[in-house]
């Protein structure tokens, strides 16, 4: 008995963290659980959209009716998004993409013998959202996420412009009930029109509000 207001729409969602390998057994990552992005994918599919979910390494079941593509690194996510963005009407970039990766990935396990310190040189990953914003076609709607420990709205407004996104969902890390791993979130939706602060919500419910607003854009 879901409203079928996304029938005929193709939605591309990215979710979860990325893993940036140091060697065959170690990687750099972040605390993203993938819950927010999976909720967006699930709700979009229930509302009739054709959904592709590019997922970093997470322990979540694939929502019913969603086409899932698993990736590990930011570079892999970038390739999958580039290959799929053209056919999407709406792109929702929920993923917490690693900003940097080790410059080299050791072929063999790095040994601890010898020195007491170790240096790892990191190089910047491509900004996938920025690429999507730069290459979006007329009528295509792009939504990014933002998580900050300070100056959330100011930084998020900058991202809206810098990445040519239509909406940024700004997550505060400093509020109870918001952020990583939990089933609820507190966000402010930023568009060119202004800011809409939403109350504490289940991620599933929030996913619906995000989709409502993107559809209205
Ligand atoms: O600039 P910042 O990382 O705070 O922006 C967050 C938004 O940008 C999220 O939507 C995230 O998915 C996206 N992003 C990306 N590629 C990166 C870094 C962030 O797509 N390398």
Question: How far is the centre of ligand 1, averaged over its atoms, from the C-alpha of 163 (Å)?
Answer: 9
171-197: per-residue pLDDT in tens? 988 787 877 778 888 999 999 999 999
Q: Which of 145, 206, 149, 202 is nearest to 173 (CA)?
A: 149
ipTM of model: 0.94
DSSP, collapsed to helix, strand or coil, labels residue 188 as: strand
Token pair recorded at residue 160: 């809206």
Q: Is 30 a catalytic residue?
A: yes
90 ligand 1 Cβ < 6 A: no
Question: How far is the centre of ligand 1, averaged over its atoms, from the C-alpha of 144 (Å)?
Answer: 7
Angle, helices 74-84/128-135, rounded to nearest 10 degrees: 20
- Which segments of 61-107 does DSSP mark as H helices, in order? 74-84
70-122: per-residue pLDDT in tens? 999 999 999 999 999 999 999 999 999 999 999 999 999 999 888 899 999 99
DSSP, collapsed to helix, strand or coil, labels residue 204 as: helix
pTM value is 0.95
Q: Which of 97, 170, 171, 190 has the most ligand 1 atoms within 8 A of CB, as the residue to mutate?
A: 97
Closest atom of ligand 1 to 99 CA is 21
Q: Which of 12, 82, 93, 167 has the most ligand 1 atoms within 8 A of CB, as the residue to mutate?
A: 93
Closest atom of ligand 1 to 132 CA is 20
């Amino acid at each position: 008995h879901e409203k079928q207001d996304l029938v005929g729409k193709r939605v591309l969602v990215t979710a979860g963290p990325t893993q940036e390998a140091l060697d065959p057994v170690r990687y750099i990552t972040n605390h993203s659980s993938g819950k927010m992005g999976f909720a967006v994918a699930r709700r979009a599919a229930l509302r009739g959209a054709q959904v592709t979910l590019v997922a970093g390494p997470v322990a979540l079941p694939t929502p019913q009716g969603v086409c899932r593509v698993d990736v590990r690194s930011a570079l892999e996510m970038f390739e999958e998004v580039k290959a799929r963005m053209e056919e999407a009407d709406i792109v929702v970039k929920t993923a917490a993409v690693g900003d940097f990766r080790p410059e080299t990935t050791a072929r063999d396990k790095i040994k601890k013998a010898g020195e007491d310190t170790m240096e790892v040189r990191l190089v910047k990953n491509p900004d996938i959202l920025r690429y999507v914003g730069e290459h979006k076609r007329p009528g295509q709607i792009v939504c990014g996420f933002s998580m900050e420990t300070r100056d959330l709205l100011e930084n998020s407004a900058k991202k809206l412009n810098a990445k040519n996104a239509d909406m940024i969902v700004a997550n505060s890390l400093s509020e109870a009930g918001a952020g990583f791993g939990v089933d609820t979130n507190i966000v402010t939706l930023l568009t060119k029109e202004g800011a809409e602060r939403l109350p504490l919500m289940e991620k599933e419910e929030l996913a619906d509000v995000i989709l409502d607003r993107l559809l209205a854009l």
